[in-house]
Amino acid sequence: MTYSSKTKQQVSQITEKLIVALDVESAEMAHTVIDELQGVIGTYKIGLQLFTSAGPGFVRELAESGVKIFLDLKFHDIPSTVAKAAVEAARLGVWMLNMHALGGSEMMKTAAGDVREACVKDNLAVPKIIGVTVLTSSNERALNEIGIERKVEDQVLDLARLTAKCGLDGVVASALEIAPIRNAIGRSDFLIVSPGIRPDFATNNDQKRVMTPEAALKAGSDYLVIGRPVIDAPNRLSAVESILADMEAVSE
């Protein structure tokens, strides 16, 4: 079955797993991308570049228009600062937010607890709270450079275990680490969000640990985050359709 012959429900189950990273320099450019992918993509990741340029008002406006937003600001600071920032992110109406698991258990627990409490108190939807393990742009050498003398996978697994212990909803991790994470963590509802996804037509850019969309889903990833292969494509809609077709191959 080709992507275009799927039912609407099948299509939405596939597209919901694809998060396009809006790694662009302005609100105007972000709107151009969203318009081009209108009706196909409903979830976008807003990271440091766009948040710094377009600000929280833009995030709120987009969330109010019905777009699901993964606010990827990778908080990492003292527990109370991260907790307060995460509560403000929840108030913007984002669907998912994240923090570095390297910030430790006190930071993660305080932030998750405060966000959930604030959402109940103010009647807000509780965002999914995700821990970042090891960036997909890092390899063993990059870890060694900052004094972490161990294998990437061991570091990822320990951080994933800590994240689960702190009651977060899941982790951001390379698709290459999904199987060991699933083995290490008994929770079937533990989400794995995978960047570093490269369709066959794209280059790796600075990502060092990459997988194709189909392989990442087969490995058990819940959400795929894809930026440059879509954003830099000459025809973004065609790029997304080709990625969705690749993802679709999993259910055939």
- The residues carrying an active-site annotation are 74
Closer by beta carbon to ligand C5P, 15 or else 136: 136
Among 14, 18, 20, 21, binds ligand C5P (CB under 6 A): 21
Inter-axis angle of helices 8-15 and 236-248, to 10 degrees?
100
What 3 state SS string does the chain have?
A: CCHHHCCHHHHHHHHCCEEEECCCCCHHHHHHHHHHCCCCCCEEEECHHHHHHHHHHHHHHHHHCCCEEEEEEEECCCHHHHHHHHHHHHHCCCCEEEEEHHHCHHHHHHHHHHHHHHHHHCCCCCCEEEEECCCCCCCHHHHHHCCCCCCHHHHHHHHHHHHHHCCCCEEECCHHHHHHHHHHCCCCCCEEEECCECCCCCCCCCCCCCECHHHHHHHCCCEEEECHHHHCCCCHHHHHHHHHHHHHHHHC
Other beta carbons within 10 angstroms of residue 120's beta carbon come to 10
| Both tokens assigned to 21 | 């990273």
- Considering CB under 6 A, how many residues would be counted as binding ligand C5P? 16
Binding mask 192-231 for ligand C5P (x = CB under 6 A): ---xx--------x-x-----------------xxxx---
Q: Of 99, 103, 93, give the one whose Cα is nearest residue 69.
A: 93
CB of 61 to ligand C5P, least distance (A): 20
- Report in angstroms how near the CB of residue 135 gets to ligand C5P at its nearest: 4
Question: Closer CB to ligand C5P, residue 110 or residue 136?
Answer: 136
Binding-residue pattern over the window 22 to 51 for ligand C5P, x denoting contact by CB under 6 A? -x-----------------------x----
Nearer to ligand C5P, 127 or 195 (CB): 195
**Is 37 or 118 the residue whose CB approaches ligand C5P more closely?**
37
**Nearest residue to the partner ligand C5P, using Cβ:** 227
Minimum distance, C-beta of residue 217 to ligand C5P, in the bound complex (Å): 16
Smallest separation (angstroms) from ligand C5P to the CB of 7: 29
Give the nearest distance from C-beta 233 to ligand C5P in angstroms: 11
Between 42 and 195, name the residue whose CB sits nearer to ligand C5P. 195
Instruction: Kindly state the smallest distance separating residue 8's Cβ from ligand C5P, in Å.
Output: 27
Give 228's contacts (C-beta < 8 A, 6+ positions apart).
21, 23, 202, 205
Of 102-161, binders to ligand C5P (CB under 6 A) are: 132, 135-136
Nearer to ligand C5P, 115 or 211 (CB): 211
Residues contributing to the site for ligand C5P (CB under 6 A)? 21, 23, 47, 72, 132, 135-136, 172, 195-196, 205, 207, 225-228
